[in-house]
Amino acid sequence: MHVMATPLDFLRRAEVIHADRTAVIDGDRRFSYAEFADRCRRAGGLLEAHGVRPGDRVATLSRNTVMMLEAHYAVPGLGAVLVPINHRLTPGEIGQIVSHAGAGLVLFDDDFADVVKQIGVPGISQSDYERALPTAASAMRAVADEHDLLSINYTSGTTGLPKGVMYEHRGAYFQALAMVAHSRLTVGSRFLWTLPMFHCNGWTYPWAVTAAGGTHVCLDVVDPQRIWQLIGEVGVSHLNAAPTVLITLVGHESARPVDSVEPLRVATGGAPPSPTLLAQLADLNIDVTHLYGLTETYGPAAVCDWHPEWSALPVAEQARLKARQGNANILGGQVRVLGPDGSDVPADGSTVGEVCLRGNNVMRGYFRDPEATSQAIRDGWFHSGDLGVMHPDGYLELKDRSKDVIISGGENIASIEVEQALAAHPAVREAAVVAMAHEHWGEVPAAFVVAQTGVPVDESTLRDFVRGRIAGFKVPKRFVFVDELPKTATGKIQKFVLRSQV
């Protein structure tokens, strides 16, 4: 029997079978699945009353709140399209996205009222939303086609205009099921919203957690003290975060081993977790899965599937294995590393090529940008622009985003390799390596280092340390010690900021 594949069905199921269980914890408020589903339908009614019709785009400018979660059901429940916007962007950037998406309405947190006014688009503030919900009519319709547009996620490109990545109901449904399987989400799960929902629709977890009948634990600010508090009080079982967030977490004074039979399951991406970090996490009863993906792939299209036997290896070896991005997730899509001639590079762990992906969790294309779409998706493969190698055991390892490669004397240096070498030093908390112009070599690596609190370290120590680990031409020619690295809202290091400093 053909029934449309849509993540909205997860909510209907949860409302039937888990009506009384807690769907959402948002501060002091708790909503059962019966209440949450009712609120989602009323949110649909509210949007409809504001003129939203099938195909319309509805933007959000919101933190990880219950309203933001509900938007993931209410907007597509009208056949409309969700446009979640990174609220840390400038009003100018936000205005560009709203305009490009043609969004006629924006749901926003109260403190963004000025921004919304500035860009001149009608909106509903969170206070108004909450006030209107109890008396709003209910509206949620069956999905007409599983290939209907569900969401447009604008990529926070570091240069140029952001591109609007189009997600369909079918792709989000598939990806959410994959996330349930890999994260082992289940009825008792309590998922903490450290990952912003505006980022790739929170890797489809707004639907995945509901599919499993778990509880969404909202979080408006990524504050380590608050996170540790929630882990203890609410019994958080799952969270997703970039390694930089995890570093802050393990280094915080409130850090205590998680008191539960099953470990706290964390999925991470964006950068590989260092050996030091992995050891610290293990001591805290936190289990990490390394994932890889892009906005264009509904978030994690690849997963570093962990072989149980690996857990018996020395921690440095475990870190080496876990630093890899693995291969296609359980959906059975495909991940390949292609050379310049378009054929697979040898799976030798050293030949670098471009990471290309294929599967139901690859975007439909870029909204209103057929040119960029046909550049990105060629011959049925999405070309990520990321560089990587394929190991003999079928595990991908990213070497760098193309633009982060340092070309020194004609040789490519993967900044990630230099960063990993630095991160292996116990005094290094975090490191970022970028290209610095050089008269003779064209470019050379420059390192920005955040030292562990209270651990003295200097340039010559680090230089000697990495010299034994990587080739001489890859050793940074300059070291800058900083208190913090500049990061995007999702925890990615903003290398363009660093590049401008050297």
Residues binding its own copies (CB under 8 A) = 1-3, 5, 9-10, 12-13, 16-21, 147, 170-171, 174, 177-178, 180-181, 184-188, 211-213, 305-308, 326-328, 330-334, 358-360, 362-364, 377, 380, 382, 393-395
Residue nearer to its own copies on the CB measure, 173 or 448: 173
Return the ∠ at Cα 252 (arms to 250 and 256), rounded to 5°. Answer: 65
**Measured in Å, how far apart are the chain's first and last C-alpha atoms?**
61
Task: Select 231 or 434, whichever has its Cβ closest to its own copies.
Answer: 231
Closest contact distance (angstroms) between CB of 173 and its own copies is 8
Of the candidates 308, 273, 310, the one whose C-alpha atom is nearest the C-alpha of residue 288 is 273
Q: In what order do the strands lie in the sheet with 327-328?
A: 29-32, 22-26, 215-217, 190-192, 238-240, 264-268, 286-294, 299-303, 327-328
**Closer of 12 and 368 to its own copies (Cβ):** 12
Of the two residues 46 and 177, which places its CB atom closer to its own copies in the complex? 177
- CB closer to its own copies, 276 vs 373: 373
Burial class (CB in 10 A: 0-12, 13-18, 19+), 474: buried
Angle at 265 between CA 261 and CA 268, to 5 degrees: 160
Q: State in angstroms the smallest separation of the CB of 431 from its own copies.
A: 29
Instruction: Determine the longest span between alpha carbons in the chain, in angstroms.
Output: 70
Between 208 and 222, CB nearer to its own copies:
208
Question: 73 vs 112, which CB is nearer to its own copies?
Answer: 73
Report in angstroms how near the CB of residue 139 gets to its own copies at its nearest. Answer: 20
| Minimum CB–partner distance for residue 257 and its own copies (Å) | 17
User: What's the burial of 285, exposed, middle or buried (CB within 10 Å: 0-12/13-18/19+)?
Assistant: middle
Separation of alpha carbons 339 and 10, rounded Å = 40
> Is the CB of 186 or the CB of 402 nearer to its own copies?
186
Minimum Å gap between C-beta 177 and its own copies is 5
Distances (CA, A) of 405 to 100, 314, 352, 445, 453: 31, 30, 11, 10, 30
CB of 458 to its own copies, least distance (A): 42
Two tokens, residue 465: 């340390």
DSSP assigned state of 241: -
Q: Are 101 and 83 in contact (CB under 8 A)?
A: yes
The CB-of-441 to its own copies minimum distance in angstroms stands at: 38
User: Minimum Å distance from CB 482 to its own copies?
Assistant: 38
Q: Whose Cβ is closer to its own copies: residue 240's or residue 289's? A: 289
> Least Å distance between CB 363 and its own copies?
7
The DSSP annotation for 147-202 comes to: TSEEEEEE---SSS---EEEEEHHHHHHHHHHHHHHHT--TT-EEE--S-TTSHHH
User: Between 16 and 471, whose beta carbon lies closer to its own copies?
Assistant: 16
Burial class (CB in 10 A: 0-12, 13-18, 19+), 494: middle
Amino acid at 489: A
What is the closest distance, in whole angstroms, from the C-beta atom of residue 193 to its own copies in the complex? 21
d(CA 23, CA 364): 30
Between 235 and 251, whose beta carbon lies closer to its own copies? 235
Nearest distance in Å: CB 186, its own copies = 7
Q: Name every residue whose Cβ is closer than 8 Å to that of residue 390 and which is 6 or more positions away in sequence.
A: 336, 337, 344, 345, 346, 347, 348, 349, 351, 353, 396, 397
Q: How far is the CB of 328 from its own copies (least distance, A)?
A: 5
Of 18 and 100, the one with the shorter C-beta distance to its own copies is 18
The 3 state secondary structure assigned to 92-151 is: HHHHHHHHHHCEEEEEECHHHHHHHHHHCCCEEEHHHHHHHHHHCCCCCCCCCCCCCEEE
User: For residue 309, how many other CB atoms are within 10 A of its CB?
Assistant: 7
Residue 442, token pair as written in the block: 């064209």
Q: Which two tokens stand for residue 232?
A: 């203890």
